[in-house]
Structure 1
């Protein structure tokens, strides 16, 4: 005869315990990986958008036309807006991908996303929300150890 306490110790784990164990494994996904994927993926989105605004090394006339007719941002000249957008959509994603000035770059692109959401495409909030999460991961948690920011900070912490 076996008593009840012995049976509970050798009984197979139930489904809730197994699911909890599997969910616990997700705690081991490193922030470094999440930040790297966030930086590269959102950087690619903005880089590709920037590519549609340039013709070689110049801002395309079609980009200026788009800012004159469809975008029509308040308080800014369409020519200047097209040039600033083309610059920002190349400069900040490049910094994000290499992980240099990552938090600042993510913040700049988050502000750009807010402008797009508020003034251009307010119905696209699900897409812009997804972008915002990528930026907030980097702003709040940093770019991770696979970044120039990490290596620069590590260098200066050694010399201090």
Structure 2
């Protein structure tokens, strides 16, 4: 005589089967949604950072001169370069236009921040880098201007 728990464990439609079905539910989430979410999330981070720099340019210049202390580059050059990279990169990533190039550019920004500015914030930088690496290695996905242009140029050739 088998107990109810033994029967449900040996029966694929039982408890284990239900558990496996539940565990596999996230596999039905379209990867395009994951790509879009990654792009929007990382674009938001860099857009906000650029906006805070632009909101008070004198403070931004002071930060680059005193706190950020980047080697080999003058703060009056580093501040506009970083701001331009964040603005451009965030807009391109958000719309999925030249997204791999934008991801590479923003990975450079993350690397500089990690190495020279806030190395203690490595976990946050790793999260940003992970999202950017997803875009760099897998592209912007179907919901992107990259895909629109890819289809347009494929049809016209």
Q: Does TM, scored on the shorter chain, surpass 0.5?
A: yes
How far apart are residue 108 of structure 1 and its match?
0.6
| Map of 1:122 onto structure 2 | 119
Q: How does 1:71-110 map to 2 (within 5 A)?
A: 71-110=68-107
Number of equivalences:
150
Q: Structure 1 regions of 5+ residues with no counterpart?
A: 1-6
1:25 aligns with 2:22: no
1:62 aligns with 2:93: no
Whole-angstrom distance in 2 between the partners of 1:69 and 1:21:
55
| Map of 1:4 onto structure 2 | none
Q: Aligned match of 1:153 in 117, 141, 150?
A: 150
| Map of 1:133 onto structure 2 | 130
1:46 aligns with 2:46: yes
Whole-angstrom distance in 1 between the partners of 2:123 and 2:16:
32
Whole-angstrom distance in 2 between the partners of 1:91 and 1:149:
16
| Map of 1:111 onto structure 2 | 108
Q: Structure 2 regions of 5+ residues with no counterpart?
A: 1-6
Q: Deviations over 1:60-119 (max 9, x none)?
A: 011111000000100100010001111111111011111100011011101110110111
TM-score (norm 2): 0.89
SS in 2 for 1:34: helix
SS in 1 for 2:122: helix
How far apart are residue 12 of structure 1 and its match?
7.3
SS in 2 for 1:54: helix
SS in 1 for 2:134: helix
Q: CA RMSD in A?
A: 1.9
| Map of 1:13 onto structure 2 | 13
SS in 2 for 1:145: coil
| Map of 2:3 onto structure 1 | none
